[in-house]
Structures are given as C-alpha cells and as structure tokens.
Structure 1
Amino acid sequence: MSSPFAAIVGGSAGGVVLLVIGILLLYFFGCKGFSNKTSETGSSDPSTLVESNRPGQAPSGCSPSEHQEARRFSLKELEQATNCFGESNLVGVGSFGLVYKGLLLDGTVVAIKRRQRAPKEEFLEEVNKLSAIWHRHLVNLIGYCQEGGLQMLVFEYLPNRSISHHLYDTRNQAAKLEFKQRLSIAVGAAKGLSHLYSLTPPMGHLNFKTSNVLVDENFIAKVADAGIVKLLQRLDDTGPSQASATDIFQDPQVGQYGVPSETSDAYSFGVFLLELITGQEAAGLVSQSPSESLSKLVEAHLRSNTLIDKRLGGRYTCEGMKELIVLTLRCLSSPGRRPKMVHIARELERILETEMTLTIVMGDDTPILEQRNSVRVDQHEKYSL
C-alpha cells in the first residue's frame, strides 16, 4: 500500500473514531442534562415537566410576588380532585359557597370553593387581581374554574382549620392554646390584614372574623377570604357590605351607614382579639346584655374577673394580658380612636416579644400570674398606646 493511500485511510478512520466519540459525548451529556431537569420536579416522568410549568404556576425558585395569573383548572380536574365533589370531601361552607378538600394530580392538597353561577368576564378579572396578592399570612389563591354553570376558586389548604375550632371547644383541654400561641396567631392575622392595606389601591377584607383565621401545621396564621366580599359585590351587584346586621364582628358604624373601611376591619379585629382572650364566642357575651356595646361589656367582665380564659391557667404576665386588653378596647372604640392595622401588628409584636423574653427568664412551667385580680385597665390607659 502506498504511503499516500495509507495516509488517506488512516485519516478517514481517525475521523470516524472522533465522530463516534463526539456522538457518544453528546448523548451522555444530553441524557445527564435531561435527568437533572426531571429530578427538579421530583419525578423521572417527562410529563411532570409539562404539568409543573402550566400557565399561572411559578417555576421552582420563583418568589410569591412573581405570581401574576391564576391557574385555570378544568372542571374534570377538580372533579377528579374531589371525588366528583363527594360529601366526604365537603369540609365547610363560606361566603362564596361550599368548600371541598381536593387532591390534585401532582399531590397538592387544595381547598376548592364552589358555587353555581353563569360565567362572567368580571369573575376572571377579579380572580387575576386576587391571585397577584401573595403573603405569608394570607390564604393564597392558586387558581379557578368557570365551567358547567359553576364558578370555583382554588386555594391552598390549611390542615389545622380555623382558629375558632381550637378556641371554642372548651370540652377538649388538649385543644387549648397557650397565651404566647394566641399572641403569635394575632400577630400573623394582623400582618395579613396590614398587607392588604399596603397595596395600591388598598384592599379591605370587609368580612374579617375568627373563623376566617386559619392555621397551618405549624400554627402559622393565615387570613382567608381576602377580597371575596369585593368579588361578590361586583359579580352579584350587592350592596357595600356582605355582613349581616346581626353579625357580632360587624362594625356598628357599617350597620348604620353601610360604608366599610380600615377602621371597620380594625373593629372586627378587636372582636377577634376578644375571643382570643376569653376563649369563647363574643356573641355569648352580647347575648347577656344586648343593649351594651362590646367595649362596655369587656370592662364589666374585667371588673368581675370573668373575662380571661380559665384554660390559660394563669400562665401569662399581668402586663402582657393588660396590654392586649387595652389594644382590644382601642379596636372596639369609636372609629376615630381605632388604630390602623399596621400599628396593631406592631403593638402585638411588641407584646409577644416581651412575653417571650419573660418566659425565657422565668421558664415555661412557671405560673407567671396566679391572681387575675391584678389585671386592671385604668380608663386613661385605653387610649395611651
């Protein structure tokens, strides 16, 4: 074989070898890259990539503030998630309609609120506004469905339900909440409402009540139904307030003039604080003296030492309890004297921090307060914060 011919054959063979090696390298790194991508979804199934990047869902690593559009669910998806809206999945009823617990195909547990209504463009507009509002202390909207004569809202699911479930069940001592827990829940709820009023334009809750304060597995508080009143007003052409005239949480000024505002949410929050203090429904206090205002009733029960939940066992500081009662009275006072939600949140944080510090110094098992007679609120203290 001549040397030129051998050189040509050798070069060709070398080229083929290099080509094969290149193809193998591309295949190897391509598969590795694909494997890494699918592992981010927790599954090796490529279909999960499509599922996880549907419109309205933020990719992994996105902050909540980047959620701009609600995910559109089909009726079939939500029927599958709830066993065709079976009775065993029904967990409650709210201002929007029936509430079902659902399990999505990706394993996410959700709360689905459903009502029968004809489709409306306004529904989609309001849903997209609500889905853009994300906060740690708000029950966040995930998506919606408007199909088959139904309107549905899909929210994150909170396993520990409403705080009212843990407060009102006086027969179950295991369900009691310590004073610091109650303060922490109040702080979270106040921050959620405060965030609504920090938006541009501000958004009022307008139907705040204890049953709308939910807690997750770590008892982190989240406010439910934010913006639902406004949505219903627009869809159903209702008046300015969805609250009943007999609703104990409704600001008397709203009942008289029908114009809710931040001060009316502050009043409702005061009723919530009262229930945290007493461990019972505020309606029970009013039923004893229907003609008295809530603030007057609080003062009367304080004088007779029947205000504070006995299940607390005296494990709270006198100063901390007194400051919480003072804040409650401010929220229940006349509109001009009520603090803004941001100030309520700050004051509750301060009370909680003080309570935590004293607990660290004295120990969790130390009865900090044995004599409830020492909890007194002077008249001038009510408006001194």
Structure 2
Amino acid sequence: MSGSVVAIAGGVAGALLIAAALISLMWFCRSKHPRNRNSETGSSDPSALAEWNRGGPSGSTARISGPRQFSLEELEQATKQFDDSNLIGYGSFGSVYKGLLRDGTVVAIKRRPGTPRLEFIAEVSYLLEIRHRTLVTLLGYCIESGFQMLVFEYLPNGSISNHLYYGMLSLILYGTKFHFSYLHISLAVLTETGQDPPIKLEFKRRISIALDAATGLYHLHSLKPPLLHRSFKTSNVLVDENFIAKVSDAGLSRLLERIEEAGPSSQTSATAFQDPEAGVSGIFSEMSDVYSFGVFLLELVTGVPAPDAESLGPHRNLMQWVESRQKSNNLVDRRLLGTFTSEGIRDFIRLALLCIVLPGIKRPKMDMIVLELERIREKEMALTTFMGEGTAIITPGSELFT
C-alpha cells in the first residue's frame, strides 16, 4: 500500500501546491467569543464572553447593538505587535495571526492592506449575524492604519487537511516534487498543535466530521437569501478540542468581491474543489458548493488531496480518477482498514460521487446530503457496535459498486 501512496503523489502534486497555501489559513481561525443569532453564540460583553470560553449553556445568546469593532491597540497587544512568532498562516484575506485578547480569549486575526470602506463594514456586519454551531465564528473587525482585519474564534485542532495529509510529509523525504512552502506550512502547523502524529481519524469519526460540515453548508444555503460558500475545501473544515467540525471562511469570497483591490485573491484559482460548470460559466450556485463538498468526501475516503484538472490531464475527470483507484484497489485510505463496514464505506463513496456528478442539476441538495450522512452514521454505528470494531469485512475497491 505504501508503494501505491507514493504513486499517487505525482498525480496530486498540483493539488498539494494549492492545499499547501490554505492548510494554515483555516487551521488557526478560531477563538471563543460570540454575538447574537442562532445557536451557540454569545456577545462582546466580557461576562458573556467568559461564559462562552467556559463552554457556556448550549444555545445561549446575548443581544448587542452593532458589530464589535476591535481597536488596533488591542489587536497589537494580542499579537505582540503582529510579531512573526505569532504568524500562523496565509489565506485569501491575507496574513493570519494567533492572538490572545486581554480577557484571555484566543483568536485568529486575518489582516490585509486596505482602507476603510462602507462596503467592508456593511458586509462584516452581515456576516457577524450568521451564527451556527457548525460555522467558525466571526467575532469582529478592525480598520486602522491602512489595514482591514477580521477576528475569528480559534480552534486548537486546526483543519482536517492537516490530519488527513500528515502522512504525505513522508513523500517529501522520498524526493516527490512538492513545493517547499507546503513543507514549511505543514511543519509549522504540526509545531503549532503539538500533535505528532495527529489524532487517528477512524471511519465513524470521518462520517461525523462530514456531517458537521454538511450541516454548516446546509445552514448557509437555508438563509434567505442563501449564502454560497464558493471556497469550500478540506482546509476550510476545522475541528475543536472535541473534534467537532466547523466550516470556516463562510462569506469571505463575497466579502472580498465587495471591497477594493479584491483582485485575484478573492477568486479562488481552479482547484480540485471547483465545480467544472462554474469554472466555465463563472456562475456559482448551491450545486457548486455541493460539488466541492463531494470532493471533500473523497478526500476523507482516500486520505490524500484530490488532483486538480491540470494534474488529471485533458482527457480525464475526477470521476475517472476515482474509478482508476477503485480498479487498482487503492481507493480507501489504508489508515481506515478495520474501522468500517463494506456497506458503510460503499454508501459514503456513492454519496461523494453523486455530489460531483455532471450536470450539476443531478446533484442532491445539502439537506438531502445531511439526511444521508445521518443514515450512514447511524447504520455504521449500529453495525460496528454489533460486530465489534475492526471485524468489518473489507471489500476490494474494484468490487465496491458491483
């Protein structure tokens, strides 16, 4: 199996270059500090914030007037004057710093050059009102000294990318062509978390992570009007200390479109997660997010980054990539062996393929995806409880769809 993993590396090198720049972005975007609306929120009031940091009563809310505007002095103090030692990543919104607020709240601060604009404040005010237990919480903003800054809650276990791709670091040591920045960022992430190796992600845990992420996207799509993520990917799924997953960067693509000098940074370049139809038409829809979610499911199954269009070549698509791995019995992450049932893994893969089917009109909506993942998880829990962990029959990849 190790030989097959090395073989995959060449096919996914292109995807890794893109995943690299994003692994640290979502990794560190978390703190503990809320506002008003929906489940599991709090407020900018210190007492409410303290309760949030203690875990707080589920579903607690507090009403405040307007978004919280942090002062530059407060954020400089939190990051030691934005010292490089607190720089934890880069993303579409610029540099990301880990900070410690005066009240003890750990936050992730995203900073980019930009002048004060009404569009920025209006959009941030809208995003601050979106609250859900499966979404990374935006706490507030700051616009001073020629910078636009966003303050997010910080999650200690970082992105799922780090936990899935951890084993890929070994490929670098074997001479695979990886960009140096991927090595640098990945090692920085591992140092930051102190996890070596990351927590094992058995199949049932991956189902739960997928369900949390699907619930987050479903919440965005259920808003009126719906909010499209447009940049959903594995590195945008973060996990807290209990490995509860949350979707990060919801609304950032929309925000970047509305502020000056958004430029190419606001438009995600073509990656494995981009819906081919949206790439051609330039029109994004809920089905575009569904496609991205399907690629996320495939990465949860394979444990490796999905290849982008350039890596696949002119006459192949992601569906064919999956089929080729099935035929070579190299589809399922070897770290999953002994933790799943054949029926469970088959249903999970089928759902992933349904999410990336073309044309997009044939894809399920997020509410149906949530229901299906709940069904798969419940059935998998029941079967493995009855059979015992590790006793599942492993079906070869080539037989999964017969």
Aligned to 2:306: 282
Aligned to 2:193: none
Whether 1:367 and 2:388 are equivalent positions in the alignment is no
C-alpha distance 290-321 of structure 1, shift in aligned 2 (>3 A) = farther
Aligned to 2:295: 271
Aligned to 1:52: 46
- RMSD over equivalenced CA pairs, Å: 2.7
1:257 maps to amino acid: S
1:1-385 equivalent positions in 2, closer than 5 A? 52=46, 63-64=60-61, 66=63, 69-170=66-167, 171=170, 175-236=199-260, 242-283=266-307, 287=311, 289=313, 291-334=315-358, 335-364=360-389, 366-373=390-397, 375-378=399-402
Q: Deviations over 1:267-295 (max 9, x none)?
A: 00011111000000002797255531101
2:386 maps to amino acid: V
Q: Secondary structure at the match of 2:148?
A: strand
Taking the aligned partners of 2:290 and 2:228, their CA distance within structure 1 comes to 10
Greater relative contact order, per chain length (Cα 8 Å cut-off, separation 6+)? 2
Q: Deviations over 1:306-362 (max 9, x none)?
A: 111011123201011000111111111010111111111111111011111112112
Taking the aligned partners of 1:112 and 1:87, their CA distance within structure 2 comes to 13
State the 1:371 CA deviation: 4.0
Instruction: Report % sequence identity.
Output: 53
Taking the aligned partners of 1:288 and 1:233, their CA distance within structure 2 comes to 30
Taking the aligned partners of 2:163 and 2:273, their CA distance within structure 1 comes to 19
Query: What TM-score results when the alignment is normalised by the length of structure 1?
Result: 0.79
C-alpha distance 193-240 of structure 1, shift in aligned 2 (>3 A) = farther
State the 1:63 CA deviation: 3.0
Mapped contact 1:110–1:157 kept (Cα < 8 A): yes
Taking the aligned partners of 1:96 and 1:67, their CA distance within structure 2 comes to 27
C-alpha distance 352-285 of structure 1, shift in aligned 2 (>3 A) = farther
C-alpha distance 67-137 of structure 1, shift in aligned 2 (>3 A) = farther
Aligned residues: 327
Point out where structure 2 has 5 or more consecutive residues left out of the alignment.
Answer: 1-43, 171-195
Q: Deviations over 1:170-211 (max 9, x none)?
A: 157654310011110000000000000111111000110000
State the 1:66 CA deviation: 4.7
Taking the aligned partners of 2:265 and 2:344, their CA distance within structure 1 comes to 34
Taking the aligned partners of 1:264 and 1:206, their CA distance within structure 2 comes to 7
Q: Deviations over 1:55-97 (max 9, x none)?
A: 9x99x87734856632110000000000111111111111111
Taking the aligned partners of 2:397 and 2:275, their CA distance within structure 1 comes to 30
